[in-house]
């Protein structure tokens, strides 16, 4: 099989219930990766043994182990693990690099179809499929802005990746990379026709409230304009969980401001983001459309 295109890095922690589904999805791909580095980020539930099993069976799958830091580290932890995997990559000649979570399943032609989208759009820098959750036996997609690709499945074109200079190791990394890419002239988007099943919905690992607070904090770290954040919270009032969703977002944003949590150290990207947000608020063309 043709494996010229891509490499995968998967930060994985305590995914014993789901990781085989992800591994088997990768193994069934019509285009296999050149290399798949799986970073076990201190799992304590048996995930380590499953990773070791696949690494032993397939020479292009490699396992990297990190010590248990004692708990989850939202945002920063996954980027640290990804960077560990990136440093461990032995393959240097790749066209795309994939950040893939260990709790997904997808069709055998998933990556082949993703690369077809990239081939059709030379300025597409970041892409990935539509994340869906199983709700009462039916697939329900996770809504996100048109420019956004969920952190669970992100594909970076090499030229775009090189221009980004890596990922910001904090909550909000999976929005900030897209902001910077757009600022540099790249397009970013989710492929609405390609679905992945996510067995642990985005933001659910630490509970709904913690996920909302983390989201609000990530928005502050990325440099969201306060007016845009206020509009986001107001719009969120009519979505489940009603009211509490908006409160959680605003609480996360406000407490990050009060605690002076460091924002991304790229003022030009923050200004670009805020300019785009103001354009969005007044109905002009922006990243959102």
Report pLDDT digits (tens) over 94-146. Answer: 999 999 999 999 999 999 999 999 999 999 999 999 999 988 878 899 888 98
pLDDT at 78 (0 to 100): 93
pLDDT at 39 (0 to 100): 98
Q: Report the chain's mean pLDDT, rounded to a whole number.
A: 93
Of 95, 65, 98, the C-alpha closest to 81 is: 65
- Residues of the chain above pLDDT 70, percent: 94
pLDDT at 150 (0 to 100): 95
Which two three-digit tokens encode residue 192? 């609405």
Calculate mean pLDDT across residues 10-38.
97
Model confidence at 11: pLDDT above 80: yes
Contacts of 53 (CB under 8 A, 6+ apart): none
- List C-alpha distances in Å: 41 to 8, 51, 69: 16, 11, 8
Q: Using 50, 70 and 90 to split pLDDT, how confident is the model at 72?
A: low
| CATH 3.90.550.10 domain locations along the chain | 6-198
Calculate mean pLDDT across residues 223-228.
97
User: Which range is least confidently modeled, 65-79, 87-101, 191-205, 252-266?
Assistant: 65-79
Calculate mean pLDDT across residues 22-29.
98
pLDDT at 76 (0 to 100): 75
Fold of 6-198: Spore Coat Polysaccharide Biosynthesis Protein SpsA; Chain A (3.90.550)
Give the distance from CA 278 to its chain's centroid: 25
Which two three-digit tokens encode residue 78? 């996954």
Model confidence over 168-221: pLDDT tens digits? Answer: 988 899 999 999 999 999 999 999 999 999 998 765 556 789 989 999 999 999
Model confidence at 74: pLDDT above 70: no
Q: Using 50, 70 and 90 to split pLDDT, how confident is the model at 289?
A: confident
The larger pLDDT score, comparing residue 252 to residue 5, is at 252
**Distance of alpha carbon 275 from alpha carbon 270, whole angstroms:** 9
Model confidence at 22: pLDDT above 90: yes
Q: Using 50, 70 and 90 to split pLDDT, how confident is the model at 70?
A: low
Sole residue written with tokens 């990190």: 66
CA angle, corner 97, sides to 189 and 110, nearest 5? 60
Sole residue written with tokens 């461990």: 88
Model confidence at 10: pLDDT above 80: yes
Q: Using 50, 70 and 90 to split pLDDT, how confident is the model at 1?
A: very low
**Distance of alpha carbon 30 from alpha carbon 43, whole angstroms:** 30
CA angle, corner 181, sides to 154 and 202, nearest 5? 35
Model confidence at 73: pLDDT above 60: no
Instruction: Give long-range contacts, CB 8 A cutoff, 24+ apart: 208-213.
Output: 208/241, 208/248, 209/244, 209/248, 211/248, 212/244, 212/245, 212/247, 212/248, 212/249, 212/251, 212/252, 213/248, 213/249, 213/251, 213/252, 213/255
User: Which range is least confidently modeled, 20-34, 56-70, 216-230, 263-277?
Assistant: 56-70
């Amino acid at each position: 099989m043709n494996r010229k295109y891509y490499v995968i890095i998967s930060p994985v922690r305590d995914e014993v219930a789901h990781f085989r589904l992800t591994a088997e999805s990768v193994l069934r791909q019509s285009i296999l990766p050149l290399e798949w580095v799986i970073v076990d980020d201190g799992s304590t539930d048996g995930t380590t043994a499953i990773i070791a099993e696949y690494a032993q069976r397939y020479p292009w799958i490699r396992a990297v182990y990190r010590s248990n830091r004692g708990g989850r580290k939202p945002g920063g932890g996954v980027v640290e693990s990804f960077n560990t995997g990136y440093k461990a990559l032995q393959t240097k000649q790749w066209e795309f690099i994939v950040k893939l979570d260990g709790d997904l399943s997808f069709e055998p032609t998933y990556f082949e179809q993703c690369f077809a989208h990239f081939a059709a759009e030379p300025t597409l820098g970041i892409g990935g499929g539509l994340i869906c959750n199983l709700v009462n036996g039916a697939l329900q997609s996770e809504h996100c802005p048109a420019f956004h690709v969920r952190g669970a499945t992100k594909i970076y074109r090499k030229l775009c990746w090189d221009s980004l200079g890596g990922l910001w190791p904090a909550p909000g990394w999976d929005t900030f990379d897209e902001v910077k890419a757009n600022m540099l002239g790249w397009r970013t988007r989710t492929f609405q026709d390609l679905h992945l099943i996510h067995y642990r919905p985005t933001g659910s690992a630490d509970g709904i409230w913690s996920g909302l607070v983390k989201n609000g904090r990530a928005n502050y770290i990325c440099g969201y304009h306060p007016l845009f954040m206020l509009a986001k919270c107001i719009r969120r009032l009519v979505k489940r969980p009603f009211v509490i969703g908006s409160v959680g977002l605003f609480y996360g944003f406000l407490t990050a401001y009060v605690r002076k949590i460091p924002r991304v150290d790229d003022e030009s990207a923050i200004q670009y983001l805020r300019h785009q947000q103001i354009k969005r608020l007044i109905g002009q063309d922006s990243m959102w459309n």
